[in-house]
Structure 1
């Protein structure tokens, strides 16, 4: 939780009462909930250098563009000065504040009956519409342009030995293949990059997406692969599927049926989705191991088993669980 000075600056910019704030989470950003009138809002505070404001402005500008063209997403609201961000400073600390309207609905795991073909198609249709719209998106001033996908920087020295080196070598192999892929307008553009089931709410069959702070320029099929990877992680157990691969193929068949209603995707890119799923699986290890101190005792059993299982599959020449599919 943050001190009153930072919160007061945000309140003065966006026009809310700090006494109404309720703490929600503190992971990549600090998030609070508040009500104003009869509406719910979320205050997001990102601890970043002031220069990073341009990057966040680029994110929320794109989100407003999508919402104004019919995408159900949490709308970023403006400050009294008509800006989409506010810089809040106190001593050496600097936070970039943004505020989003709340969204109706529940998460997918609140009701097991929600998890099925209808949701998968709607999810795909929403992403397809976003990709179609982004083809015409112009950020204007290039200083407000989001970053391009690039290979990961792995600076933790503990990740260059043993099993972690095996994972890293696999990541670098996939990244090399990705770097050589074409970047045409029909296949590459601004994507959410984290459109997983905990980043949207479901209300009467419609979904509202949020949490665009990972958005970047990448391949549309990569966005699909990320969604599929997370669907396998969190939803392949909901029914008695014989394997994660079987569930992944079922999910993608339904998802792509919705997707192509809104955006065309060539078969060559559909066939690359399993590659992007492998990329997401491997890169996730380096996300949660970023600050690992090299002490195996600080990893839980689930993490240790995931590393061992993944390394065994790589060394056996097998695709990762959930990625061994033909589309």
Structure 2
């Protein structure tokens, strides 16, 4: 939990409810990680309230995100559209002595989460996952930022910069991340392979209803290589198909990844094509995400359950030895 999240009091929650004309008893905690997420009842309709802080995302960054999500919705991509407050604003503000809380309401997606172990976790889901990713990328190719409106973020940042006194593992992760980042920065940026991406479209950020995916949580969206979205899907489907049982075996992640890619790429190719040059970059982007996630989870999982500590140790040892977390079949390249 970010420090600002602890500063969001019941008084602030009551103010948020008032911004949307909602009774306090019609708003309840729903989830969240980087942001606070609440469920709201608006005249019987289920909606979602996201609370962020201007230290996490500026108003201009949020406006850029909302513009892109609205564009996707207008072009028949199943995303949760932003909803205006009764005052007609897509962004509401609650200033306080520690900064400003920024509020946005969204449609609530129909359906629910699907994960490994459920019958719906199958090739049809993987194909749909690829299809919606392809649709987003096809829209991004043709998207132009509205005149006078801001752009979204481009660079990733690790949650810390280690010092000489930092644990060796933190220093290792930082150097490994910077190495991959430098490799990626040398790649060409072309219209058909680089643009606005969701950048975090794992199965925690969409619901499935009657076999159809409805995507949400565009908090991390920004300019990136389209192959980044493919890497995120492959990594999470193979490593965290069940959130509570992360895979800590190269054989296991390899088998899952190659099976997943069959369906995913079939769906993606229905919309657009990724050439072999970019598919060859897929392992680089997968490793970048692996390192980034280890850095994010280092403090919490380093003192977590036995399974979490084992997963973290397996990954850090692999990163130190330059061993990939999975082996994709040569046919993908």
Displacement after TM superposition at 1:149 (Å): 2.6
* TM-score between both structures, scaled by the size of structure 2: 0.86
- Cα distance, 1:185 vs. partner? 0.6
Q: Give the aligned partner of residue 40 of structure 1.
A: 46
Q: 1: CA distance between counterparts of 2:11 and 2:64?
A: 26
Alpha-carbon distance, 1:45 to partner:
0.8
Once superposed, what is the RMSD of the aligned Cα atoms? 2.8
In the TM superposition, residue 17 of structure 1 has moved relative to its aligned partner by 2.3
Distance 1:51 1:33, change over 3 A: closer
Cα distance change, pair 148–203 in 1 and its aligned pair in 2 (3 A): same
Contact 1:5 / 1:90 at 8 angstroms: preserved in 2? Answer: no
Give 1:106 shift: 1.7
Partner of residue 55, structure 1: 61
Cα pair distance change 1:50/1:304, threshold 3 Å: closer
Tell me how far 1:89 sits from its aligned partner: 1.7
1:233-248 paired onto structure 2 within 5 Å: 233-235=239-241, 243-248=252-257
For residues 222 and 165 of structure 2, the distance between their equivalents in structure 1, rounded to whole angstroms, comes to: 25
Q: Which residue in the other structure is 1:89 paired with?
A: 95
Equivalent residue for 1:219?
A: 225
Q: Are 2:113 and 2:204, in contact at CA under 8 Å, matched by a contact in 1?
A: yes
Which residue does the alignment assign to 2:272? Answer: 263
Query: How high is the TM-score relative to the length of structure 1?
Result: 0.88
Which of these residues, 311, 318, 323, is aligned with residue 318 of structure 1?
Answer: 323
Paired residue for 1:123? 129
Deviation at residue 16 of structure 1 after TM alignment: 2.3
* Counterpart for residue 162 of structure 1: 168
Shift in Å, 1:195 = 0.3
Aligned counterparts of 2:147 and 2:122: Cα–Cα separation in 1: 42
Match of 2:196? 190
Q: Is the 8 A contact 2:227 2:279 kept in 1?
A: yes
Are 1:278 and 2:287 an aligned pair? yes
Is contact 2:162–2:170 with CA below 8 Å preserved after alignment?
no
Question: 1:61, 1:201 → 2: CA distance?
Answer: 22
Query: Residues of 1 paired with 2:230 and 2:311: CA distance?
Result: 23
**TM-aligned CA deviation for residue 13 of structure 1:** 3.4
Distance 1:260 1:279, change over 3 A: same
Tell me the distance in 2 between the aligned counterparts of 1:217 and 1:61.
14
Shift in Å at residue 118 of structure 1?
0.2
Structure 1 residue ranges (4+ consecutive) displaced by more than 6 angstroms after TM superposition: none
Question: In the alignment, which residue of structure 1 is the partner of 2:260?
Answer: 251
Cα gap change, 1:139 to 1:95, in 2 (>3 Å): same
Contact 1:41 1:99 in 2 (8 A): yes
Secondary structure in 2 aligned to 1:87? Answer: strand
Change in 2 beyond 3 A, CA 1:40/1:304: same
Whether the 8 Å contact between 2:116 and 2:241 is mirrored in structure 1 is no
Counterparts of 2:274 and 2:98 in 1: how far apart (Å)? 47
Distance 1:92 1:246, change over 3 A: closer
Partner SS, residue 65 of structure 1: helix
Match of 2:309 among 295, 304, 321: 304
| Structure 2 portions without partners, runs of 5+ | 1-5
CA separation in 2, counterparts of 1:210 and 1:79?
19
**Following TM superposition, by how much is the alpha carbon of 1:317 offset from its aligned partner in structure 2, in angstroms?**
3.9
Q: Deviations over 1:144-201 (max 9, x none)?
A: 2101134546324388542333333322221111010111010000111110011111
